[in-house]
Amino acid sequence: MPISSSVRFCLTACSALLALALSAASAGATSRIKDLANIEGVRQNQLIGYGLVVGLNGTGDTLNNIPFTKQSLQAMLERMGVNIRGATIRTGNVAAVMVTGNLPAFGTQGTRMDVTVSALGDAKNLMGGTLLVTPLLGADGNVYAVGQGSVAIGGFAAEGAAASVTRGVPTVGRIANGAIIEREIEFALNRLPTVRLALRNPDFTTAKRIAAAVNDFLGSKSAEPIDPSTVQLAIPTEFKGNVVAMLTEIEQLQVEPDLAAKIIIDERSGIIVMGRDVRVATVAVAQGNLTVTISEGANVSQPGPLSNGRTVTTPSTRVGVTEDGKKFALVKDGVSLQQLVDGLNGLGIGPRDLIGILQAIKAAGAIQADIEVM
C-alpha cells in the first residue's frame, strides 16, 4: 500500500529526531582532551605584594592601633621628600593591604592582569580607595608585575547611631587590569622534544584512552601513558619546531573518560551525588522513625467543704511513643543508578535518612562504590 505524504513526512521527522538524540547521547559521553588534561608547563604563577590604599573616607586603618600602616606611610612620604618622623598622624584615609594576583601563562611585558586587594589592618571599607604602586613578587622573590589603580568592591557597609548594615565583604576589592607585567617567565614550548599531558582526574583507563586517541591521530606510537595522571607525548618529526600546531589539533580529540564509582555526601546540607557506575548487590532496606512525646501539666487538688485541708498542685506527665516504619524495599543485584535511585525514593524518605541508608549499605558490603563524606 502506498505511503501518503503526511505519513512519509512524519517518518522522516521521527528519523531525524532519533538520529539527533543518538548523536547527542554519543556526544555527551565523550569530552575533549582539552577538558580532561593540562599541558605540563603551561600554568599560572601566583604573585603577592604589600601596599597602601589611600583616599578612603575615614574608613581606613587606625594608625595608633596598626603600627605597620603608620610605618609604611612614613616610609612612603620620606621617599617623596616629606619628613614626618616624630609627628602625630591622625588620618583615617589610609589602609595597609595585601595585593594578590595570578601571572598568566606566557604573559609578556607590558600586558595587564587583574589583582585582588585585601585589607590587612582594621580598615572598615575600601570603597573609593586607590592602590599606590605595589610591586608583586613571585615565590622566588623577584618582581614580576606592578599594581596600581582604583579599587572596586562588591559589598558595602553603612551605619547610624543605633544600627548598621553590611552586605558582602567591603574590605576586599578587585582592580581589573590593575597590574602591568614587568618580567616574563621563559618557557620555550616550541623547542620541547616531549610534551606531558597532566590529567585533572587521574585514572588508568582515561590515560590509556587519551594515548590511543593521540596515536590514532598522529599515525604513530608517539603517546604513552606513564601513570594514571600523566601521558607523555614525543614530538613527531613533522611537528618539530611547531608544537603549538600539534597541540591545537590534539586538544580537540574526543575521549570517553572513565572514573571510579563514587558517592559524595555533604552531611551539612544533605546533598548526595552518585556516579553513574555505582552498583549494589541484592539488599533489602527498611527505614523507621521513633518519636517520643513528653507533655507536662498540673492538677489542682482542693479540700472538701468545712475541712482543715489546703489547696495543692500536683504535677502531671504524659509520655507517648510512636513508631513510623516503612516497608522493606528490595534493591536487586547489579541495578543501575536510575534503578537504585527509584528504589530508595520508593521508601519515601528524605536526603538525611538516605545518607544513613547509603552508609549502612556500604557497611554491609553490598555497594560497590567509595563513599566520600565532605
Lowest mean pLDDT among 187-201, 215-229, 349-363: 349-363
Whether residues 141 and 52 fall in one domain: yes
Q: Last residue of some domain: 218, 235, 255?
A: 255
Checking if the pLDDT of 303 tops 90, the result is no
Of the two residues 2 and 66, the one the predictor is more confident about is 66
More reliable by pLDDT, 210 or 86: 210
Same domain, 203 and 108: no
Listed in sequence order, the residues at least 6 apart from 21 whose beta carbon sits closer than 8 Å to its beta carbon are none
Q: Is there a single domain that holds both residue 297 and residue 323? A: yes
Which candidate, 244, 260, 256, places its Cα nearest to that of 213? 256
Report angle CA 244, 251, 255 to the nearest 5 degrees.
160
Q: What is the pLDDT of residue 186?
A: 85
- At 13 the pLDDT is 41
Mean pLDDT confidence for 106-129: 93
Q: For 312-335, what is each residue's pLDDT tens digit?
A: 777 776 666 555 655 555 556 666
Q: Tell me, yes or no, whether 36 lies in a domain.
A: no
Tell me which of 224, 240, 255 is where a domain ends. 255
Check whether residue 99 and residue 163 sit in a common domain: yes
Cα dihedral sign, 266-272-276-278: positive
The predicted pLDDT at position 355 comes to: 79
User: Between 186 and 312, where is the model more confident?
Assistant: 186
Distances 7 to 2, 16, 17, 72 between C-alpha atoms, Å:
10, 14, 15, 83
Looking at the domain assignment, is residue 24 inside a domain?
A: no
Give per-residue pLDDT as tens, 255-276.
999 878 888 888 777 788 887 7
- Is residue 14 in some structural domain? no
Q: Per-residue confidence at 18, pLDDT binned at 50, 70, 90?
A: very low
pLDDT at 233: 94
In this structure, is residue 16 part of a structural domain?
no
Instruction: Categorize the per-residue pLDDT at 190 as very low, low, confident or very high, splitting at 50, 70 and 90.
Output: confident
Which range marks the domain in which residue 283 is found? 262-302+311-373
Q: Count structural domains, the chain.
A: 3
Could you read off the pLDDT of 27-85 as tens digits, one per residue? 447 899 999 999 988 889 999 999 999 999 999 999 888 999 989 998 898 888 888 87
Task: Identify whether residues 298 and 207 lie together within a single domain.
Answer: no
pLDDT, greater one: 202 or 286: 202
Q: Tell me the C-alpha distance between 363 and 366, whole Å.
A: 8
pLDDT confidence of residue 351: 73
- Give the percent of the chain with pLDDT over 70: 77
Report the pLDDT value the prediction gives residue 20, as an integer from 0 to 100. Answer: 39
What average pLDDT does range 286-300 have in this prediction? 62
**What percentage of the chain carries pLDDT values higher than 90?**
40
Statement to judge: residues 151 and 241 lie in one domain: no
Sign for the CA dihedral angle at 235, 237, 239, 241 comes to positive
Q: Is residue 240 part of a domain?
A: yes
Q: Is residue 27 part of a domain?
A: no
Whether residue 213 is predicted with pLDDT greater than 90 in this model: the reply is yes
Q: What is the pLDDT of residue 161?
A: 66
Confidence of residue 99 (pLDDT cuts 50, 70, 90): very high
Q: How confident is the model at residue 295 (pLDDT cuts 50, 70, 90)?
A: low
